Chain A
Amino acid sequence: MIRAVYLRNNEIPPDTRLARIFSEQADFVWRSLRRLGVPAADVDDAVQEVFLVVHRRISEYEDRGLLRAWLFSISRQISSHYHRSAQRSEDRQRGLVMNAAAPDLEEVLARREAEQIVNKFLDELEEPQRMVFYLSDIEGMTAPEIAAALDVNLNTVYGRQRQARKRFEEVIRRHARETGEP
């Protein structure tokens, strides 16, 4: 028989799995939602929706070794319900100041510059390559994980990754030339 008791927040032990996944993956989900076009103003809301789904459906995921691919596929479905926005510059300005915790001024500036370079690069990349590059080279996911997350085959992932990397290297080289770095 179920006790009829008003449970208060301070009596409920934290949900171990949800807490763990959230603490480890909230940044990833947040970034993915942004990258999937959820407007900055809606992204907190979308993060909540993703983790409510996680909470409900964690048993479907169990131990498949593809946590981030799974989270990404939830994020992708959730993001489709939000009005898509390009990550325009005014959006970006808000998120990105990290001077408080950055080690020194030089690093702050370097990050600022990196932000501009990468955002511009991603904006100019075609969608399929953009997602693969984002997941592989920014999030560090493996090709099989990406294939699962995007539901495309492995060779497609490799092909897009190769092209995107080549273009990124060009951007980096050009930038180095322009700024006179060795």
Chain B
Amino acid sequence: MKALTDRARVVLDRYKATQRLAEEDKARLFDIVENRALRGDVSKFDVGTLLQAPPSASLLHRIWISPLGKLGLALAVIGPTALGVYTLGSAEARPPPKASAGAASAAPLPSAPPPSSTPSQPLPNWGAAVSPPAMSGSTARVKTERAPQPASVDEPTVDGEVRLVSAAQLALRSGNAERALQLLAEDAARFPRGKLTSVREVTHMMALCKLGRTAQARLEAERFLAKDAKSPFADRVRSVCSPPQQSQ
């Protein structure tokens, strides 16, 4: 396949740089989506089968499509996260989220991204095996530096990170905040510049609250907001350690 000339490539990169959500719109949208997801909202539209026939069926995929394999893999790989999420998602008695659906109808106003992404908005490289870098706006490209990492780093992908953070969240949900802190510390040591640092930090604050270490949690919250006031988690961080509303 004949590649594009440099001149054509540059034009396309510039074009793409104009076609993005503004960071604040992105944060606002994520807030709405997450709230709706947690509330148990489903899409108002039916969506049928997705990706019927992937062109290259990996071993994992072959296991995946076998009847028992699906169950096994689902439990092994996504169990902790999905279980936690859906348990929460099904908790009916929850006050409505502060973000109203009305906010959603506001038109997006995309603008060029800031030269560097916030820590919580990393560039995509998930599934990098099959795709070149996606966000290739000529000026918006962010080099991911490889941080000096401890010798125990053994997983080059973010999946290890997801597992650790998910496990920590599960521990926290089941009331074991100490364990959550351990797992988060492990995550921080292994993925000091990981893609989930914001999620890790927020989870960490919550675990501290659970243990009554309110002062430290609030200190971390302050630092978090100083660093990234527009984070999708900013509201949550601002109200960290405020007392829960008990019922029954």
- Which of A's residues lie within 8 Å of B, judged by CB? 2, 4-28, 30-31, 34, 40-41, 43-45, 47-53, 55-70, 73-74, 77-78, 81, 94-103, 107, 110-115, 117-119, 137-145, 147-149, 151, 154, 158, 161-162, 165, 168-169, 172, 176
Contacts and interface: CB of A to CB of B under 8 A. Distances in A.
Nearest to B88: A12
Interface of B: 1-2, 4-5, 7-8, 10-12, 14-21, 25-26, 29-30, 32-38, 41-45, 47-48, 50-56, 58, 60-61, 64, 73-74, 77-78, 81-82, 85, 87-88, 91, 93-95, 97-98, 104-115, 120-124, 126-127, 129-136, 139, 158, 162, 165-166, 169, 172-173, 195-196, 198-199, 202-203, 206, 232-233, 235-236, 239-240, 242, 244-248
Contacts of B53: 148, 151
Majority secondary structure, A binding face: helix
A8 to B, nearest CB: 6
Given A49-B44, A111-B15, A148-B51, A44 B165 contact: no
17 contacts: A4-B248, A6-B244, A7-B244, A10-B242, A17-B78, A19-B34, A19-B232, A26-B26, A26-B29, A48-B33, A55-B37, A62-B73, A117-B11, A137-B4, A140-B133, A143-B1, A165-B4
A173 to B, nearest CB: 8
A98 B78 contact: no
Contacts, number: 328
A24 B124 contact: yes
B162 A138 contact: no
Nearest to A143: B1
Majority secondary structure, B binding face: loop
Nearest to A110: B14
Nearest to A66: B54
A16 B166 contact: yes
B195 A20 contact: yes
Contacts of B244: 5-8, 11
Contacts of A176: 7
A106 to B, nearest CB: 11
